[in-house]
Amino acid sequence: DTPAGQRRIRIPDEAGLQVHARGTVRQEPTFHVKHGQGRMIADKITEMGDNLRLLEGHDRLHYLIDKAKDMEPLPEAAKIDDNRIRGCASKLWIIGGAKEDGTMMYQVDGDAHISKGTAKIVTDIVNGEPKNEVADLTVESFTPLGIKELLTMQRQNGLGELINRIIRIAHD
């Protein structure tokens, strides 16, 4: 039963529920983004944006935080000034490059969960994609993701710089 005025949203793979410290139960969605099957990056961005829009209110921010908590940290040796994203409200680092098969692979880390989770979503989209396709992206390519609207102006600047860095790495 759903209280009057509220609608129930069905999220794919409704398996994992988590009980949080406040005693609330929140759905942990499993989004299906298939990598390496000839899908265009733009399709992956749109699909992830559509999936994120299924989450209401603070659930989107909680999803970003949960993504950040599931990440492997970068080695301390990689947390150098050259790998740092400028313009972000927090410290955020990215490393990456092309694998032997010509696909890109990136890894990110940061000291703030929202920035780190946002970066993880972006890198999950481009990881495993052909170098030339990643190099052809622009910041505007990620508009359908719909994350920018959740972020403060300074974090929006950091997101733009992260995307630009991903593109520059693909050009190297």
Stretches where the chain sits below pLDDT 50 are 1-38
CA gap 29, 17 in Å, rounded:
9
DSSP tag of 148: G
pTM of the predicted protein model: 0.76
| The predicted structure's pLDDT at residue 96 | 97
Closest CA to 120 of 60, 54, 67: 67
| The predicted structure's pLDDT at residue 39 | 67
Closest CA to 129 of 91, 167, 162: 167
